[in-house]
Amino acid sequence: MSHAIRADKFLLDADRTTWHDETLWFVREKRDRAVYAVPEFQELRELASQIKNHTLSRLDLYLQEFEAAAQANGVHVHWAADAAEHNAIILDIIKKQGATRVVKSKSMLTEECHLNPYLIQHGVEVVDTDLGERIIQFRDEAPSHIVLPAIHLKKEDVGDTFHTHLGTAKGESDPQRLTEAARQHLRSKFVAGEVAISGVNFAIAETGAVVVCTNEGNADLGVNLARVHIAAMGIEKIIPRLTDLGVFTRLLARSATGQPVTTYTSHFAKPAPDKEMHIVIVDNGRTQQLGRPDFRASLKCIRCGACMNTCPVYRRSGGHSYDFTVPGPIGAILSPNIDMKKHASLPFASTLCGSCTDVCPVKIDIHTQLYKWRQVLGEANEIPASKKWGMKFMGRVLASTRVYGLGGQFARRALRLLPHGLTHAPSFNAWAVARELPEAPKQSFREWYAKQPQPAPQPQSQVPA
């Protein structure tokens, strides 16, 4: 199913679409205010971009440096080539502990690997502890945004969900009271958690520490109460030095939600006495992306979500319409790398307006890459026939002045004469489904121009002697 078809479902509720659009635009505006308050923001973006470029150009070496430092800290380091191996490694650690209860803080990588269903299938209770994640876990949904996983839901939806799962009063929709109910519920889970799984925002090669950024403190609470901490990281999370972290912590939260920094920026390097720490380093298609010069820059992404918040298509189609772990503009670049056929429509879910590129804190050329994917998909015959033939036809028309002129004449007449039902037939003209066509002028610009009196010849300018 294409992005456009799934988006249609979201668009059925016009009020909700408008609300979704406005909510995300509000976050985008908060981002702008936070960014303008930092005089060197553009300089920081450039530094972040260069640090990431450099890191990717020595990725194998930094991964080894990181591994050695982490092992020296007493951390167990594991390597997973793909999602299946990632899941198996984590289940194995849990099994060895004889544990059955896992608390998890937000991690898009474990989403990408579908870890939750795998663990549940193997008899492990998995509790997502980030409030937004917990809400969608109750509802058996996927996150619709990488930073704001439940952004597609209204407070009444959350109220209904909590009424069913947590026994809150029917009709309760006050965010404060709903959050309090979740706090009580999740505290009991934290206290009972045997193994804690977290994601990784940054991994520092120099120190072997992983850095986790949250606002709720759920990663810290889970990890520090459980016996075992498992941190799952993609190979692209590496940065070389602690000093580089100063750049990224200044960019991440400002770009994501407009906060000056996340509430907790936690550095985990060594397990507490008598406890264990594991890091699972995951590839899952990333080294392949590294080998594609046109798309390699997508590995610089720090998952701030700014490109989604600003994207006019994302805001009006909702995260679920992308049907991929990472939605929005960056997801549309990452997904065809994983499965070109399945995600062929995503690089077309963009107006190519470039707004995503403008806000990206690590300067990924997002809209250029979307454009490049379209070429790749075209060559690979992954473009829907209607679009492809339409493009081919227009290409011919635009290539010849004569054909273009004739076509224009024909179109103007046709638009005046053909009935609305035909020009707007959804099967012929998807463009006109939600749009009116302009009234066709009687004359083209060229015809009008030809009838104008020729301008008088300009006097020759005097060349000074």
- Provide, rounded to whole angstroms, the least separation between the CB of residue 210 and ligand SF4: 18
Helix (H, G, I), strand (E, B) or coil at 161: helix
Q: Tell the burial category of 324 from Cβ atoms under 10 Å away from its Cβ (0-12, 13-18, 19+).
A: buried
Q: Is position 143 an interface residue for ligand SF4 (rule: CB under 6 A)?
A: no
Least Å distance, CB 146 to ligand SF4, is 7
State which H helix or E strand residue 70 sits in.
helix 59-72
Q: Binding marks (x or -) toward ligand SF4, 319..348, rule CB under 6 A?
A: -----------x------------------
Residues 410-429 that bind ligand SF4 (CB under 6 A): none
Give the DSSP H/E element, type plus range, for residue 231: strand 228-234
Q: Which does 113 bind (CB under 5 to 8 A by kind): ligand SF4, another protein, none?
A: none
Is 94 or 362 the residue whose CB approaches ligand SF4 more closely? Answer: 362
Ranges within 357-376 binding ligand SF4 (CB under 6 A):
359-362, 364, 366
341: its two tokens = 């056929």
As measured in angstroms, the least distance from the Cβ of 370 to ligand SF4 is 11
Indicate the pairing of strand 276-282 with strand 264-268.
unpaired
* Number of Cβ within a 10 Å radius of residue 379: 9
Q: Name which of another protein, ligand SF4, none residue 261 binds, using a CB cut-off of 5 to 8 Å depending on partner kind.
A: another protein
Residue 199 interacts with ligand SF4 (CB under 6 A): yes or no = no
Sign (positive/negative) of CA torsion 263, 268, 274, 277?
positive
Residue 336 to residue 149: CA distance in whole angstroms: 22
* Residue linked to tokens 């950024």: 213
Shorter beta-carbon distance to another protein: residue 228 or 245: 245
What does the CA dihedral 61, 67, 69, 73 come to, rounded to 10 degrees? 180
**243 CB-contact burial (10 Å; exposed 0-12 / middle 13-18 / buried 19+):** exposed
Residue closer to another protein by CB (options 221, 333) is: 221
Tokens 């273009």, residue located: 404
The one of another protein, ligand SF4, none whose footprint includes residue 195, by CB under 5 to 8 A per kind, is: none
Which of the choices another protein, ligand SF4, none does residue 103 contact, using the CB cut-off of 5 to 8 A by kind? none
Q: Please identify, using beta-carbon distances, which residue of 27 and 186 lies nearer to ligand SF4.
A: 27
Closest distance of CB 296 from ligand SF4, Å: 13
Residue type, 179: T
Q: 257 is in the binding site of which of another protein, ligand SF4, none (Cβ under 5 to 8 A by kind)?
A: another protein
Q: Provide the minimum distance between the beta carbon of 285 and ligand SF4 in the complex, in angstroms, as a whole number.
A: 16
Q: Is the dihedral of CA 249, 253, 258, 261 positive or negative?
A: negative
Using the contact rule CB under 6 A, the part of the chain among 13-21, 280-288, 305-313, 445-453 near ligand SF4 is 305-313
Select from 131-139, 169-177, 298-306, 389-397 the region that touches ligand SF4 (CB under 6 A).
298-306
Partner from ligand SF4, another protein, none binding residue 304, C-beta < 5-8 Å depending on class: ligand SF4
Q: Which does 54 bind (CB under 5 to 8 A by kind): ligand SF4, another protein, none?
A: another protein
Binder of residue 360, out of another protein, ligand SF4, none (CB less than 5 to 8 A by kind): ligand SF4
Least distance to another protein from the beta carbon of 269, Å? 5
* The two structure tokens encoding residue 153: 């839901």
Closest distance to another protein from the beta carbon of 259 (Å): 7
Q: What is the DSSP string of 176-211?
A: HHHHHHHHHHHHHHHHH-SEEEE--SEEETTT--EE
| Partners of 126 in the β-ladder | 102
Residues 160-179 touching ligand SF4, rule: CB under 6 A, are none
Residue 38: closest CA among 27, 47, 25, 51? 47
Total residues found in the chain within this entry: 465
Cβ nearer to ligand SF4, comparing 165 with 286: 286
Angle formed at CA 33 by CA 32 and CA 35, multiple of 5 degrees: 65
Q: How far is the CB of 335 from ligand SF4 (least distance, A)?
A: 13
**Contacts to ligand SF4 by CB under 6 A:** 255, 301-307, 330, 359-362, 364, 366
